[in-house]
Structure 1
Amino acid sequence: MKPILLVHGGAGDISDDRVPGKLNGIKKSLRDGVQLLVNGGSSLDAVEEAVRSMELDDSFNCGYGSVLNINGIVEMDASIMEGKNLNAGCVTLLQNMAHPICVARKVMEKTNHNFIGGEGALKFAHSQNFEVLTQGALVTENAKIALEEFKERQNKGLDTLFSSTELNKKQKRDLGETVGAVAIDGNGNIAVATSTGGITGKLSGRIGDTPILGCGTYADNKIGGVSTTGHGETIMRFNLAQRILQNINHKHVSAQQATEDVCKEMTQRLIGTGGAITIDKEGNIGIYFTSKRMAWGYIKDNQLVYGINKGETFTENL
């Protein structure tokens, strides 16, 4: 099996001025993660490293680039899963952590649980020697401006967080959405990692699809792996990741066809937009989004392939 690393940097109404930062961040994430694969490392190590890279880049809505809830606080979600034994770790409502994806992996490896949230997740991270940042250390100027604009529109009656007719009305400074990575290593083991700061102006305590297995993340060596991005409430209700894998498994369609069909069906039925990246057990890739844009990229056969607009693909030799 030839190793493959596939990543996304968020689907949404991404503004033109944010495109270069996202593409540069995608390429860096791929280069950081693929080094582990080409040196015989595991798919699990590769997806963690790829997402960890994006958590340090404020072009993405995760880690340092996370958006703010209605109270101006960063609350993050993350999940990681490996497809051999179906082991997984998930965290939610995590504050003051630079790398939620690393905390999620520790939940998988160091506890008897799959999912820890809130204060308990923070205490667990501290027990595993993760650095607890000072309150506000993850808050960026762009995130502050986005929240101010959200509140202005809300006061004018132009924005309701969860109204289906308003899902695609985004603030002027779109900070992007969830990031994720899917990989298959030389042994055919599949892993998936997903991380997010959620949506601007969300209620305190809101949890999206990202930390929920089958919605934001799923990996199964017998079928494939999927990481999703977009409007969390929509993706959660539609169980997007699991539906894509079930289409591959039961309808015997390609990873690309399954990803495209299920994303389209979700948006047609529930209005909310989103996207997904998929690798099946044979190493075939699927990439699709119903949003205006989704930053994505993969490395396969010593080529880096990436894009952000529909119908657009760029290729670089490594």
Structure 2
Amino acid sequence: MSAVIVVHGGAWSIPEHLAEASVDGVKAAARAGSSVLLGGGSALDAVEAAVRALEDNSVFNAGHGATLNIDGEVELDAIIMDGRTLACGAVSSVKNIANPVTLARAVMEKTEHVMLTGRGANQFAESVGVAAVPPEALVSEYERKEWQKHKTYVTGVEEDFSSRWAHDTVGAVAVDRAGNVACATSTGGIRNKMVGRVGDSPVIGCGGYADNSIGAVSCTGHGESILKVTLARLILSHVEQGKSVEESSRLSLQHMADRVRGSGGSIAVSPSGEWAATFTTTRMAWAAVDQEGLWYGLDPNDRFQETLSQ
């Protein structure tokens, strides 16, 4: 069985000055995840590696470069899920962890819980040796300037995710050579969000879901809308009914638009290696590596291909 990884850098109206860097970033993350898979690593290892690469890239709204809440602080959310066992770990409202996806994995592997939040998540991080960083180290100069420009939170869904100043989530899904699937999603949330606001990203079945019997999904977009329709699990429910991952993604995103006026995107992969990257926002940076090479896109109908260097 061939291994596949798909990553996204967020579904929103990505401005031209961030377009090239966004595409380069998702391509690099896909290569990082693919390298793990080609080395015999698990889907779980691959999605963690890919999302860590995105968290470390200040172009994206996760880890370094995350958006700021109304008080000008970073609050990070992340989830990771193993489709083989349905084991899952998540963290929310974490302020000083550079790679929350790795902390989420520690929650999955070293506790009996699924999600830890805020102070408790940070206490747990310290207890298992996940290093803290100064909160200001996660704030990019670009994000600080954008936060100063837009100190009033805009509540309209269309304004949020079709505007030039919205920013969004990162994620990855993968299937390894053994047929195991996994997902991971990480975000800084919505700029100028209320303190303590948590969106879909760390919530199982919403920001992500993985099950070896169906597939894996990572979602991006307006968190409150995604929560209302449990988007990740909705996509996989269509797959269970025999639809392709692409059709399942498209139908579910359309349902979210029809029911709650929500826009966003998703990436999905099946245990057989079928994959899709779908979005209803103006743009979504995505990349995938399968047996045919590296694929990537930004605008609707984009599907460019590169040969992977050996």
**TM-score normalised according to structure 1 size:** 0.94
Structure 1 residue 183 corresponds to structure 2 residue 174 = yes
The superposition leaves residues 107-141 of structure 1 with CA deviations (integer Å, 9 ceiling, x where unpaired) of: 00011111100000001111111211113111111
Aligned length: 308
The equivalent of 2:23 in structure 1 is 23
Secondary structure class of the residue paired with 1:206: coil
1:302 CA displacement: 4.7
Whole-Å Cα distance in 2 between the matches of residues 165 and 291 of structure 1?
9
User: Does the 8 A contact of 1:64 with 1:139 survive in 2?
Assistant: yes
Which deviates further from its counterpart, 214-223 or 130-139?
A: 130-139
Structure 1 residue runs of 5 or longer lacking an equivalent are: 155-159
Residue 27 of structure 1: CA displacement? 1.0
Q: CA deviation at 1:166?
A: 3.8
Q: CA deviation at 1:168?
A: 4.1
Counterparts of residues 26-65 of structure 1 (less than 5 Å)? 26-65=26-65
Q: CA deviation at 1:146?
A: 1.6
Q: In structure 2, give the amino acid aligned to 1:297.
A: A
1:118-129 pair list within 5 angstroms: 118-129=118-129
Gaps of 5+ in 2: none
Superposition map of 1:306-317 within 5 A: 306-317=296-307
Write the distance in 2 (CA, Å) between the matches of 1:234 and 1:162. Answer: 12
Give, in angstroms, the shift of residue 161 of structure 1.
3.5
1:227 and 2:210 correspond:
no
Amino acid at match of 1:314: F
Equivalent in the alignment of 1:264: 254
Deviations 1:226-261 (CA, angstroms, capped at 9, x unpaired): 0000111111111100000001102x1101100111
What is the Cα deviation at residue 24 of structure 1? 0.7
Residue identity matched to 2:259: R
Distance (whole Å) between structure 2 residues aligned to residue 233 and residue 121 of structure 1: 22
Q: Distance in 2 between matches of 1:167 and 1:132?
A: 30
Aligned-CA RMSD value: 1.2
- TM-score, normalization by structure 2: 0.97
Residue 161 of structure 1 is matched in structure 2 by: 154
How do 1:1-318 residues align onto structure 2 when only pairs under 5 Å count? 1-151=1-151, 154=152, 160-164=153-157, 166-168=159-161, 170=163, 172-174=164-166, 176-250=167-241, 252-318=242-308
Mapped contact 1:52–1:99 kept (Cα < 8 A): yes
State the distance in 2 between where 1:299 and 1:163 align. 35
In 2, the alpha carbon distance for the partners of 1:135 and 1:294 equals 28
Task: Give the Cα separation in 2 of the matches to 1:40 and 1:302.
Answer: 18
- What does residue 157 of structure 1 align with? none
